[in-house]
Chain A
Amino acid sequence: MMIHYRFLLEELRYGGKQVLTFVVCVALSIATLTALNSFRRDIHGSLIDEARALQGGDIIIHAHQPISEELEGTIDTLAQEQDFQQQSTLEFYTVALSEDKDTSLFSSIKAVESSYPFFGTIEIASGRKLGEVLKPGSVVVAQEVLERLDLAVGGLLNIGDVAFEIADVVTFESMRPVSFLTLGPRIFVSMADVDRLGLLGRGSRVEHEILIQLADPANADRLSETLSAVATPRVERVETAKNARSRVKVFFDNLLFFLSCISILTLMLSGIGMQGSLSAILYQKQNVIAVTKAFGASNRYLLIQYLAMVSFMGACGSVIGVIAGYLIKRLFPLLFRDLLPQDVGYAFHPVDALEGIVLGIFVVTVFTLLPLHRLGAVKPVMIFRHETGSEKPGAAPLLAGIICTVFLILLVVRQIDDLKIGIFFVIGLILLIGTVALAASASLWLLKRSTLPTLALRQSAKSLYRPGNASRSIVITLTSAISVLLLIFLLKLNLFATFIESYPENAPNLFCIDIQQDQKDLFQSVVGEEVVMFPVIRARLLSINNTMINAEQERQRKTDNLGREFNLTYRETLLEDEIISDGNSLFGDSKSLPSGVVALSVLDSIAEIGEIGLHDRLRFNIQGVEIDAQVTSIRSRTKSRLYPFFYFVFDSGTLEAAPQTFFAAMHLPKSLIPDMITAITAQLPNVSTINVADMADRFGQLMKRLSVIVTFFASFSIMAGCLILVSTIFATRLDRIKETVYYKVLGADSSIVLRILSYEHAMLAFLSSLMAVLFAEAAAWLICRNVFDIAYHPHWHVAALTVLSSIILLVLIGLASSVGIIRQRPAVYLQQQNSV
């Protein structure tokens, strides 16, 4: 059937602001997702998709202590039999010193063999291969090392007591594509030099790795299983490149996940906006449609005309959305700067545009189903009985709802690649909307029954119940929209508040670890002042009340896990920032303990994770010796989480014989820290120093950057939310205009008309945002407590601001949509009312 182009053009012209709103909604719905998906392809393509390049081998064996002889032997034997290659690496942090030992730099040392790596690339400034350049006695360093230590290629660099010649500069490592997740720049040393580096006392802070290259990568799973069987449980981890977790991948997966969620919300909100504005367009035309039908136009004919119109608007919106996506992506280098290497593409490919368009088509289809379906419900009889708006909704809304839900689930699943989370996400939303619907009905019911003091208030309240009113759906839409937006912000605020805690003024800002028993005096004299040194004994937790710790389960935890190696200590008193939250004193009455069991004080945070309570029995393995302890107290910390802390504190005397090193934490003026590190490293090369102040700064910067990124994406959701406001208000504008004209005819002056209009919108905004605040606070609280495991602050001022700005925004939009009538004589409008 033919499309009536003149009709189409007229409709578009008449639709005016609504058409614009619709187009912008379409554009908004796809813009961020298009940019984000393009970005995801960049990152995957260049950084994290090539698992072997990220891991350096087909199979990776990982341990925080030297690989056991048994495992090494098995690998050697199998390597002979199955003809595969292997090599070892070591990685640890230490402080490197300049040639004259007057400046120092916390660096990440990696010792490698000449064949390193099997997969991936390491780019060297001279263009040669790492193995060719890196000879015993030399190092290859990141540019930052040269800059910070004021060195040049050919110069000397000190690690521990050993001076190395700087052979070259490393410019890119595919195993470490981004630097913000690491604490110091890279220094490559030759495996042959490892013994000279004096790793004594570094304990488990050295990562030992064996990389395996297979002739046929398909054998990876089988070999990995064989090796796992030999590996020491909980100590040695055998993984294939495909299964191995990479911090980079995890980081970007999480970031993209969060941003995807926000973008999907933007899409949903824009979809609702689309629906609203199309409904408004059709509502305005209701009489014309009825008349057209009365003259014999079939539903099919009308449907085709409006379908053509929607397609046209959708196409415009999609094209604008893709262009917007392209422009948004142009901002990414700025947005993600410091997070990604310079050479990540940031290009916008035809496939990105295509994806955007396809997404646009889907979004438009799904969200215009219902309004277009309602076209069929417009009956010619409405011309005669204009004021009756009682049509039965039928099954259509339900069906449209189901289609929307299915679409969203598919989208979420595709976008975040996780069916379970996708379904949770959508079920959560449906639950939210269902609850909101109930609450909306309840609050509107209450409002109807309340007696309001002034005429304007009463009148505006009554307007909410005008026949055929959309108040309930407006409140539902607004509440849902505002609550998800507020939820994002509350989560963001809480997450970042937890992490961007400014570093406390007097907290220790320099940590020294691995001080040996016989170095205590020397250390004291280098530092100059009296420092408290805590003994550190490395151990693993074996069982709680005879229930064995399950290493596999523990590794799944998002919080700290009980399977890892812990630092135990012993002392007699509480630290300055500690209080006892459960129990009488640190170690209770030691006489009451069974023989062979020692007293133990546990920090509340780990007690919560392990569900450890007073009097529970914990068994530790301290470097081969097992020891039973009974919990005599639970401690809490009163100050910043950045203070050093120990989960497990024993009574002095119980562990004094165990092999131990010492830990010192001190507070220095920030400017003196580098020199102190240099001095300590020069005198005590095996002692590791950690500039906590610097680390906190870096971490804070990272968090701020992430916060900016999240805010950037969330701002699109807010825009979509505003469009919902606009479209819902415009959708019911005609009813309000009609009433306003009547008020004026009956002698209402502009002040009372303005008041009635403002109050009506203010009531809607107040109801919606108030409920939204309650929902968002509740949801954010639940998520912070149960998913993120962080403390929750309600940020009531943000909530109040949300309510206030919703009211202001809605009132402004409401007035803007109908204020034109106030200054004009009513005849024109009355005539319009007559003529229909």
Chain B
Amino acid sequence: MSSPILKAAHVSKHYNIGERRAVVLHNVSLELEPGEFAVISGASGSGKTTLLTILSGLDKPSNGRVWLADEDITDLDENGLAPLRNRLIGFVFQAFHLVPSLTSLENIMFPAELNRDPEASEKASHLLNRVGLWEQRDNRPEQLSGGEKQRVAICRALINNPRLVFADEPTGNLDSENSREVVELLLELQQEFNTTLLLATHSSAITDRADRILSLHDGRLVKNDIRP
């Protein structure tokens, strides 16, 4: 068996709110295999987003360690993380987080341009076509619908062909029709690019299709099942 693409060992996270300490994640350990589609499920406030941000290096754990593709990222500084975020990882957020000053095409191109990819423009155009938004290539995020924004965000996450994509409630802001489309797209592209997908969601419809289900309850990992 190949080595895990993502590994977390005894990860905890707490916040200090005044005198009080709120423990949000308790001693979470997990591993993901390359190409897996894993879902983090759990009630609201159970710590899904917190776990995702820590695993992806957007935040630091209070305790424990995180490895991405065998590299310990726990203590990496921001400059150390930058190339990982650019090439190894893709992100899709519930709130889209597209760069407001850039058009759809430019938003998608941006990570490739950072990576000095000479084919940035071609790749982005191809992806835009692929998700059926070529007509909207010059629209700014404010000129796109929620579903369109999320499709652009997915293209942006995939343009550098990352080995891992993190998605936090990617359908949280969308209606059911759009949600379905976005999920289909994500899964299709995951297959196509052969990436690992770690997705946090409430939706059982998505959970049903996952290779692995991670369940959080009050910050504890209560279930880590691989589906047959």
Contacts and interface: CB of A to CB of B under 8 A. Distances in A.
Contacts, number: 92
Contact of A822 (B78, B85, B97): B78
Contacts of A824: 78
B111 interface: yes
Contacts of B84: 747
Interface stretch (B29-37, B57-65, B210-218): B57-65
Contacts of A467: 100-101, 140, 142
Interface string A375-394: 00000000000011100000
Contacts of A823: 77-78
B111 A746 contact: yes
Contacts of A462: 101-102, 106
Interface in B171-220: none
A455 B118 CA distance: 12
Contact of B82 (A744, A828, A834): A744
Contacts of A827: 53, 58-59
Contacts of A744: 78, 82, 85
Interface stretch (A424-432, A472-480, A748-756): A748-756
B50 to A, nearest CB: 8
Contact of A747 (B86, B93, B106, B141): B86
Contacts of B91: 745-746
Contact of B95 (A389, A750, A834): A834
B86 A746 contact: yes
A826 B60 CA distance: 10
A744 to B, nearest CB: 7
Interface residues of B, number: 38
Interface string A250-293: 00000000000000000000000000000000000000000000
B113 interface: yes
Residue in B86, B98, B142 with the greatest tally of chain A CB atoms within 10 Å:
B142
Interface string A729-765: 0000001001100111111111110000000000000
Contact of A830 (B58, B60, B85, B141): B58
B115 A825 contact: no
A747 B60 contact: no
Contacts of A455: 113-114
Contacts of A748: 82, 86, 114
A462 B141 CA distance: 14
Interface in A783-824: 822-824
Contacts of A84: none
Interface string A354-394: 00000000000000000000000000000000011100000
A749 B79 contact: yes
Residue in A742, A746, A833 with the greatest tally of chain B CB atoms within 10 Å:
A746
B48 interface: no
A833 B84 CA distance: 23
A824 B57 CA distance: 11
B115 A747 contact: yes
Contacts of A750: 78-79, 82
Contacts of B93: 830, 834
A459 B100 CA distance: 12
A463 interface: yes
Main secondary structure of the interface of A (DSSP, over half): helix
Interface residues on A, range: 35 or more
B95 A747 contact: no
A749 B91 CA distance: 16
B97 A465 contact: no
Contact of A745 (B85, B94, B106, B115): B85
A832 to B, nearest CB: 11
A466 interface: yes
B83 interface: yes
A747 B87 contact: yes
Nearest to B76: A825
A451 to B, nearest CB: 13
A822 B77 CA distance: 10
A750 B106 CA distance: 21
A830 B53 CA distance: 10
A834 to B, nearest CB: 5
Interface string A412-430: 0000000000000000000
B49 to A, nearest CB: 8
Interface in B43-85: 49, 53, 57-60, 77-79, 81-85
Contacts of A822: 78
B78 A747 contact: no
Contact of B83 (A465, A745, A747, A833): A747
9 contacts: A387-B100, A459-B110, A742-B99, A743-B110, A745-B85, A747-B86, A827-B58, A830-B53, A833-B97
Interface of A: 387-389, 455, 459, 462-463, 465-467, 469, 735, 738-739, 742-752, 822-828, 830-831, 833-834
